[in-house]
Amino acid sequence: MTVSLPSPLPSSLPSSLPSSLPSSLPSDPQALSRILAGGDRDTEGLSVWPRSTRPEPGADVSVGGVSLAEAADRFGTPVYVLDEQEVRERCRTYRTAFPDADIVYAAKAFLCRAMAHWVQEEGLGLDVCSAGELALAVTTGFPPEKIVMHGNAKSPDDLSTAVRLGVGRIVVDSASEIARLAAITPEGTRQKVMVRVVPGISAGGHAKVRTGTDDQKFGLSITDGSAQHAVARILDQPHLELVGLHCHIGSQVATVKPYVAAVRRVVGLMARIQDQHGIALPQLNIGGGHAIAYRPGEESLDVGVLAGRVRAELEDGCARAGLPVPRLTLEPGRAIVGPAGVVVYRILAVKRTAGHTFVAVDGGMSDNPRPALYGVRYAPRLIGRPSSAPPHLVTVVGRHCEAGDILADDVALPGDVRPGDLLAVPAAGAYHLSMASGYNLVGRPPVVAVAGGIARVLVRRESLDDMSRRDIGL
């Protein structure tokens, strides 16, 4: 089974959509797969843009029926534009592919009140990593029982807030958390927990985002027995209820094979737990990390293929081990919000040296540190004015005082790009603003939601006054 997104999306959608709205997902697996891969939009260079993207007169581009050039004029630059319907359709993609699983949105990719509201309306849970993310979600009205608390080093405040608010599951990531969590769980109650295990599988788009091996900070090793020891300790705690195992093998994983291997190893551990302790764990969380394409031609993970292969491995493995099939949980983040976002910058300077052309924009590593951290590459596009100039390879750089403040290296832009032009960068919805900083006190950009030709601010631009208020000493 291959499941993906419908194409094209309607051009006249309301700005706020009810949870009862039908998903309208196509039923033909091949058509769905072509849609997720970009389909005919490759000819326009739009395969990695939101589904609602349309070329407009004057070399402009619209998303959700809203002109990006007009959005830049209205809201200033840099500005992050988030396609609400793209987010919703990607939520539905996962629910359709995994109808009998819990889909939990990984809030670390991007979180604001509207985002929490959208994923709740689409029937997803939420994965949070701090008391701050948890508080934002709960004050938005998100049901705490549908929230999973993560973190390799949860603070006492993280744990106490999670217990007090009644989160559905807390993922234990170290042995020290067990006694700490048991001590703060109120008498007469039991906190549901999972153990994050390390399956010994290397997967991910960069060494810094590979989390399935023993040489990194997350989880408890199956190989050295740490995971089994944690399970035994939890089972000895009357205030803790072990409901399952969790594993996350990495991020930007573009193939299904590592997930299948992880399921096989974790099912093997579940079988040993049943043999040693006489219990069959009812839940298995296989994390997220599903790759998206940042540039045309790049691979993204096929969610439908993932669903079929994981389900088959899980059922076969449990049958061989004599285990009941546990309920699956998945935690997609980037794959839901990443392709829904576009950032628009204004060019401040063009500098031509003997060997390079540097195009400097009014943002950079303070609103997107990922190129500096992981060497991520993007596909910027000149918008807002036509150009017949031949393309030249340029390096798009930020405005910050770091030589590594590079947003896109060796990208083709018209040779007449100049200060005042607009550059739009697709696939910008995940791990940009959630990782943004106050470097150089530039201020973080706003987030603007678009749908049905209507634009509205979700998160306002950070002002100098906002930053000055925190500086209270002299």
CA angle 220, 222, 223 (to 5 degrees): 115
d(CA 331, CA 104): 5
d(CA 365, CA 192): 39
User: What is the CB neighbour count within 10 angstroms for residue 395?
Assistant: 16
User: Which ranges constitute the DSSP H helices of 57-174?
Assistant: 68-75, 84-97, 113-121, 131-139, 156-165
| Torsion angle of the four alpha carbons 111, 115, 119, 120, in this order, in degrees rounded to the nearest 10 | 100
What single-letter amino acid sits at 345? Y
DSSP single-letter state for residue 435? G
d(CA 391, CA 160): 56
d(CA 274, CA 142): 34
3-class secondary structure, 112: coil
Residue 15 structure tokens: 């700005």
| 268 contacts: CB under 8 Å, gap ≥ 6 | 317, 321
What single-letter amino acid sits at 284? L
Under 8 Å between Cβ of 61 and 383 = yes
d(CA 422, CA 428): 16
Residue 24 structure tokens: 């309208």
- Tell me the sheet residues that pair with 222: none
**Which of 129, 247, 318, 401 is the catalytic position?**
401
Task: Confirm whether 129 is a catalytic residue.
Answer: no
Residue 374 structure tokens: 């992981």
Which residues are marked as active site? 401
